[in-house]
């Protein structure tokens, strides 16, 4: 273990303070919340190299698609647990660490199994299998009673769906041949409902279901718009899909709260706060919104986001986006602060 990693771990363990009613943050999803599970699998979709992580503790590129921390890390800290949530497949950590929080997310995945096949990443069903494995390890570590208390009291963050539309529906002719966009939204919403019921049956009770962001405003989509002769603005047809889908799952979440005894599910919709940041970045202390910090900021992410690229910005805190697909840590912090005052406030009381 390098000196930087040793210092990082000492710092983390010195700051652990388990919250009374939320002992851990447990994460399912895609690159919006992946803490590094893709590092150890055979996929091109990785970020365990600089400049990713340059503003993380010790400047470590952990596999998070950010210059620093991502939303689950910030939420965990806000709940008084610890300042980051480790990836389940990271060999640096074990069940004693995961008792305070664990991330099963995989960049590039979606509710639709076909989405995970696009870039050969971990499908959502496998994330659930890892969770079952985790529960068994937790029982062995703490005993069944204490493990059951952690499982039932933890906050579950569910954040995925963007890839189902951008990497699957709008990229694969076969998907478009089988569904209209409205039918595909209903299909994904149905899969999301099944997933929530699945982890509920495994013991989850406190859940935050994250809606879709204004995905037509991602720098990658704005660049595509430009090269297609449609200007440099957001792709509003994609934003409308996000709004329509969010409306569907918002109704679904409300219904499931009534149907599932003991469930406390909130719909943490990032769309409007994210759109506000993009439209008026100066209000939030940001400056650049149309391009990202990394490389040219127009289309790069993953391996194309190179530390050697001379166009990479020096201060990511001025940028809404870190790479062409993901927000900067500063933007994530603004969104999380908003959610903590709104939907997530229920779990802080």
The residues that are catalytic are: 31, 323, 326
- How do 155-159 and 206-210 pair as beta strands? parallel
| Sign of the CA dihedral with 330 first, then 304, 112, and 76 last | negative
In the DSSP assignment, the letter for residue 62 is -
Triad 198, 201, 204: Cα angle to 5°: 90
Which of 131, 67, 125 has the alpha carbon at shortest distance from 102? Answer: 131
Element (H or E) spanning 164, and its range?
none
Residue 266: CB atoms within 10 A of its CB come to 20
Which of 310, 165, 300 has its CA nearest to residue 240? 165
Tokens representing 229? 């002769």
Peptide bond into 51 cis (omega under 30): yes
> How far apart are alpha carbons 32 and 327 in whole angstroms?
9
Q: How far apart are CA 263 and CA 257, in angstroms?
A: 6
């Amino acid at each position: 273990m390098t000196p930087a990693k040793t210092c990082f771990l000492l710092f983390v363990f010195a700051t652990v303070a388990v919250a009374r009613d939320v002992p851990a943050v447990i994460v399912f999803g895609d690159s919006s919340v992946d803490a590094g599970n893709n590092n150890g699998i055979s996929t091109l979709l990785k970020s365990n190299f600089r400049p990713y992580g340059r503003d993380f503790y010790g400047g470590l590129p952990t596999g998070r698609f950010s210059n620093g921390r991502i939303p689950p890390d910030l939420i965990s800290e806000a709940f008084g647990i610890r300042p980051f949530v480790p990836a389940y497949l990271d060999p640096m950590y074990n069940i004693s660490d995961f008792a305070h929080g664990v991330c099963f997310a995989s960049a590039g995945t979606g509710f639709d199994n076909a989405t995970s096949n696009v870039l050969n990443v971990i499908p959502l069903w496998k994330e659930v299998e890892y969770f079952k494995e985790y529960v068994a390890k937790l029982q062995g570590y703490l005993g069944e009673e204490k493990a059951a208390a952690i499982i039932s009291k933890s906050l579950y963050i569910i954040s995925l769906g963007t890839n189902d539309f951008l990497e699957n529906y709008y990229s694969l002719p076969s998907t478009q041949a089988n569904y209209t966009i409205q039918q595909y939204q209903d299909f994904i919403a149905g899969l999301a409902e099944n997933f929530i019921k699945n982890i509920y049956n495994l013991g989850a009770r406190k859940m935050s279901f994250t809606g879709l962001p204004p995905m037509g405003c991602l720098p990658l989509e704005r660049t595509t718009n430009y090269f297609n002769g449609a200007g440099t603005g957001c792709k509003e047809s994609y934003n409308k899909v996000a709004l329509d889908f969010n409306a569907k799952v918002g109704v679904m979440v409300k219904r499931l709260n009534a149907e599932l005894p003991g469930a406390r599910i909130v719909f943490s919709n990032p769309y409007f706060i994210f759109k506000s940041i993009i439209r008026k970045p100066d209000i939030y202390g940001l400056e650049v919104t149309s391009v990202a910090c990394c490389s040219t900021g127009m289309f790069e992410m993953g391996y194309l986001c190179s530390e050697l690229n001379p166009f990479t910005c020096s201060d990511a805190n001025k940028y809404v986006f870190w790479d062409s697909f993901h927000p900067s840590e500063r933007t994530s912090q603004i969104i999380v602060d908003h959610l903590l005052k709104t939907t997530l406030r229920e779990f802080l009381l």
